Structure 1
Amino acid sequence: MGLRVVGAGFPRTGTTSLKAALERLLGEPCYHMREVIGRPGDAVVWRDAYAGAVPDWDKFLAGYAAAVDWPASSFWRELSAAFPDALVLLSRRDSAERWYRSMDQTVLGAARADSADGRSPILGTPEQARAAAEMMRAMFGRAFDDPDDRDNVIAAYERHLVEVRATVPEHRLLEWQPGDGWQPLCDALGLPIPDEPFPHKNTTAEMRAQRDGIGGH
């Protein structure tokens, strides 16, 4: 069937919560950066995609009903074209400043640490580890001119929101932020609202604890 939801949001916009929610709603897995951690061979595919060798999306994402978070959301244009019936889900925070603070304390901070000590964010074979490091560099390079410059990062985030809104037809686009919960997702997908709380996962504190080896993955 292919993807029913194509995520177009940057990290730290509730994407881990969305992964859990979409899996609950759609009954199938949702692709997320966490998938790359569990499937280190995927890093090779993503690295090559950033270099222009786009995979067969149907084959590569077979078995997934949705994809959110980087690296998949870096390819929102390609994925929305490959799956023309999919909902394009633009997750965002209520302010660019709040998003940046969360991003700086987690994703950007972790990337700086990995770069400084030469670590790969993903374990696997030596080739997979190299591919993961190259994927990460390409991922940040596509998003930001200078990931160490606060104003540049915020401008890139705001520019991205404008670009998605201007590109995706209104009938395919859903903007969502973490406080919105189930209702907009269920309305857009034509599904009933589950009789359970919306999942709220991977807060800044939780992500930093995991990074420090205190929490699980």
Structure 2
Amino acid sequence: MAINIIGVGLGRTGTYSLKLAINQLGHGPCFHMEEVLKNMDVQVPLWSEAVKGNSNWNAIYDGFNSSVDWPTAGFFRELIKEYPTAKFILTERNPENWADSFGSTIYKLVEGKDKAPEKMHNWLDMCIEVITKSGFPLGMDRNGLINGFIAHNKAVREIIPEEQLLIYQVKDGWEPLCEFLNSPVPNESFPNTNNREEFWELVNAGN
């Protein structure tokens, strides 16, 4: 089973809502950082090796048809080579709003690694490696985060062929996503989830 839909938008751009939407459209199961948290013993070593250039995508995505969020988003250059016919989705949002959201959730979490339970440390180390690879080493200020976000999205546009890439905001709902994936528009409302409070609930579930 090879994944054929790859979300390359950074975390905190509506990736969890996109995961739910992709599953609802029948293109799942969709891989998300949540899957790493649920299966840390297997997934964390695989992703740590991928950062070093020793990727085993078949093992990472075993049982999945699609993927969104980090860690995936940090590997768009590798994944377009591994899956040259896949469809890619770049979730975007206002850069300033993204920096505020990222800074108060993911970045805050990894910067406070030493305060986390011991069993979370390997996962957090991997997260630090992945977000650093994505252009966000520890210690950046808000302007640095904003510029890094803009740079990531620019690089995606430059590397992924235009005909394979959907530039998307989850607030736009079903229509552009369904058109891109050749799927009928559901009658149900578009899923809208994973605000900042839900982020911490998701992380704490892995403790």
Q: Same fold (TM over 0.5)?
A: yes
- The range that moved more, 24-33 or 42-51, is 24-33
CA–CA separation in structure 2 for the residues paired with 1:151 and 1:24: 36
Query: What is aligned with 1:48?
Result: 49
1:132 counterpart SS class? helix
Query: Structure 2: any 5+ residue segments left out of the alignment?
Result: none
| CA deviation after TM superposition for structure 1 residue 140, in Å | 2.5
CA–CA separation in structure 1 for the residues paired with 2:73 and 2:201: 25
* Deviation digits for residues 173-216 of structure 1 (CA, Å, limit 9, x no counterpart): 101112011111110111101110000111123224555x6xx6
CA–CA separation in structure 2 for the residues paired with 1:27 and 1:13: 20
Query: What is aligned with 2:147?
Result: 155
Matched, 1:201 2:193: yes
CA–CA separation in structure 1 for the residues paired with 2:150 and 2:14: 17
Aligned length: 204
Matched, 1:134 2:133: no
- After superposition, the Cα gap between the structure-2 partners of 1:118 and 1:191, relative to the gap in structure 1 and judged at 3 Å, is closer
| CA deviation after TM superposition for structure 1 residue 59, in Å | 4.0
- After superposition, the Cα gap between the structure-2 partners of 1:5 and 1:200, relative to the gap in structure 1 and judged at 3 Å, is same
| CA deviation after TM superposition for structure 1 residue 110, in Å | 1.6
Query: What is aligned with 2:9?
Result: 9
**TM-score, normalised to structure 1's length?**
0.86
Q: Would you say the 8 A contact 1:6–1:80 is kept in 2? A: no
The sequence identity of aligned pairs, in percent, is 32
Alignment-mate amino acid for residue 48 of structure 1: E
Over the residues paired in the alignment, what is the CA RMSD in angstroms? 1.9
Matched, 1:117 2:118: no
**TM-score, normalised to structure 2's length?**
0.90
- The range that moved more, 59-68 or 170-179, is 59-68
Alignment-mate amino acid for residue 20 of structure 1: L
Alignment-mate amino acid for residue 106 of structure 1: T
| CA deviation after TM superposition for structure 1 residue 142, in Å | 1.2
Deviation beyond 3 Å, 4+ runs, structure 1: 145-148, 208-211
Q: Would you say the 8 A contact 2:34–2:202 is kept in 1? A: no
